[in-house]
Amino acid sequence: MRALFTLLLVSILAPVADASAVCWIDRERATTADQLPIADRRVAGIRAAAQAMNGILKRNSALQGLPEVRLRSTWQVVGHPRTAPMPYGFHLVLWAHPRRVWGPGNCDVIPQADRIDPNAAIVVQANSARSTLKQQESYVHDEQIEAFVEPEQIGKIGDYPVYRGQSIVLTFDGRLPWVQVTTEEYLDFEERRLRKVIAETDHNIAQAKDRAGQYDDSGPRQVYDAMKKTDPAGAEKFWAMIQEVKAQAARDAAAAAKAPPVVNPYLKELDDLRVLRASLTPAQLQAQAREGYNSRTPRRPFDKLPLLVKMDPAFPWDLANPNTIRMMEIHFSGAGAPYDAMMRQAAETLDWAAIKGLMR
């Protein structure tokens, strides 16, 4: 009877021991990005949301089943709502650390663990979608607009699109947090850019013209004077060479004076841009912009040019309550087999209802 009882006890406890065998280290940053103590009541709501998200990840059996890793979850409250019109968010990074960075204990890693790429990772950002938007770089940004190449959808997990870079973006009401950049906005940006480049190039051309034929021999003169004390003959040869350099500079200046004036090459680009704008109808100007469509003869076929988006300026942030989450971005990755497939499974089996429940 005692043996049977012992066997039953082992059979009951074994699954619990297996489930908790994975090493999971929690690391909460002690201060927020705007230097508040993490226990400050002003960030209590967003802190609780970050902890809840960490709990959702911990309950995922696919993450718990990752082999030959030690998991470390690090999160920090981010944002500066006291000085900028944006709410708080959090940045949570879960890394599955390989054996080479394990520490000597049963569940630790060495201090330099973050310098070695993990076998798998999940990154969660609350109230941000910038990582998804910046998967492909765009040059379209200045003081009036910040544009991004429209994220490329590569699949779905449940009801949610998966974008290039294996990112999922979800919002409290299902809307996308970005909107199209219009062709008119893009052409306005290109005109501002070209005007600036034209002014800079004109300045450089003028400076080059002013410097033509000028040669400052004060530095070589010092060398010449020093050489005369130890090597008079060598000094004279050196100075003769300097005089030839000066003479060549004068000849170059004379030739430049007779040459046709240098034409700023960006003037034609601006003319081409204005010709394109004049050819477009009001409806075409309001169509979604394509990066590189700045003349009637773009460098690449029109349908191959990337579409542009920007963050929705009318997105309904709850600025009255800076702890409110309206948007989340979740990125998952695995470094080869079996981690890539297991991380896909982890994403598919996340408690998406609980995640959506963190937003309001």
253 and 333 housed in the same domain: no
Cβ–Cβ < 8 Å for 289, 273: no
Residue in 121, 137, 64, 81 with CA at minimum distance from that of residue 332: 121
pLDDT tens, residue by residue, 138-184 = 999 999 999 999 999 999 999 999 999 999 999 999 999 999 999 99
Domain membership of residue 200 (yes or no) is yes
275 and 326 housed in the same domain: no
Domain membership of residue 148 (yes or no) is no
235 and 189 housed in the same domain: yes
CA distances from 348 to 42, 138, 155, 341 (A): 34, 31, 12, 11
Domain membership of residue 281 (yes or no) is yes
Which residues, 6 or more positions from 201, have their beta carbon under 8 angstroms from its beta carbon?
264, 265, 266
190 and 283 housed in the same domain: yes
What range does the domain containing 60 cover? 22-127+317-356
pTM of the model: 0.81
pLDDT tens, residue by residue, 98-132 = 999 999 999 999 999 999 999 999 999 999 999 99
Domain membership of residue 5 (yes or no) is no
pLDDT at 14: 36
Domain membership of residue 301 (yes or no) is no
Domain membership of residue 237 (yes or no) is yes
User: What's the rounded Cα separation, in Å, for the pair 110 and 99?
Assistant: 10
The domain tally of the chain equals: 2
